[in-house]
């Protein structure tokens, strides 16, 4: 949830393309990743739908503005963006972008999401190590993603080099960059949720029961990143094994 580019980049970790063909092991990895992702996504949607019915006295936008203000952040704007679950923090424009339902609703779900995105703004303000590392990786990830697309097309078109060991190691190297990015994303997301829950508790905005529901909502949101990272690591290990066997 920290930037809308993440799902786009992480998609490359689940492209379903296997240099050299589709083995039963690779199909098993893809199937397990797909099922896990679908189950987590379904649970996330159900939890957010449920917790959107539990009212709080402030809208998501008001929660975000209050959290930023109480943490001494005056140069970040809270704005509304189209869509659902499109919430993210933009470190370049310094905006907390809340989806329309989160921005306008006064519910536990909206408060949890808004506070989480503000957690990223606080990370940025405090130069949080993992966020800085992740930001520095973005150009390399963008380049690797473009190169993977070209390599994938070459493989699908049956270019002769697509079955060589050199081709496989190039694929592994590029794929490793996107996999590392998905791994680095995890501490960034979990830390933002930790900051959000700590603030919700100290602010008195949510009572204990509501706090537990906010924690649960953020947990399932974080699990989407965990599933992507695990799936990406599993595929990377498979590609490494494939490359080693081609030597």
What is the set of active-site residues?
Answer: 117
CA distance 69 to 170: 47
Q: What is the DSSP string of 68-110?
A: HHHTT--S-EEEEESSSS--EEETTTTEEEEEHHHHH--BHHH
For the chain, give the number of residues. 247
Measured CA to CA, the distance from residue 218 to residue 196 in angstroms comes to: 9
| Residue spans of alpha helices (H) in the chain | 5-11, 24-51, 60-70, 100-104, 108-125, 129-156, 165-203, 208-245
């Amino acid at each position: 949830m920290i930037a809308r580019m993440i799902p786009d980049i992480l998609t490359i970790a689940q492209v379903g393309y296997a240099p050299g063909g589709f083995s039963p092991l690779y199909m098993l990895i893809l199937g397990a990743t797909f099922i896990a992702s679908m189950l987590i996504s379904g649970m996330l949607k159900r939890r957010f739908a449920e917790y959107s019915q539990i009212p709080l006295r402030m809208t998501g936008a008001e929660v975000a503005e209050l959290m930023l203000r109480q943490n001494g952040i005056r140069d970040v704007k809270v704005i509304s963006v189209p869509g659902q679950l499109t919430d993210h923090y933009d470190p370049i424009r310094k905006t907390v972008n809340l989806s329309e339902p989160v921005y306008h609703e006064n519910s536990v779900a909206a408060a949890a999401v808004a506070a989480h995105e503000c957690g990223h703004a606080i990370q940025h303000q405090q130069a949080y190590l993992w966020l800085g590392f992740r930001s520095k990786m973005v150009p390399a990830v963008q380049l690797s993603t473009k190169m993977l697309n070209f390599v994938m097309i070459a493989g699908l078109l049956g270019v002769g080099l697509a079955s060589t060991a050199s081709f496989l190691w190039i694929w592994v190297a590029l794929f490793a960059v996107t996999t590392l990015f998905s791994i680095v994303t995890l501490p960034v997301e979990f830390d933002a949720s930790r900051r959000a829950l700590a603030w919700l508790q100290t602010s008195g905005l949510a009572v204990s029961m509501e706090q537990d529901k906010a924690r649960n909502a953020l947990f399932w949101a974080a699990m989407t990143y965990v599933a992507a990272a695990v799936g990406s690591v599993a595929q990377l290990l498979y590609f490494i094994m494939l490359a080693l066997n081609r030597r």
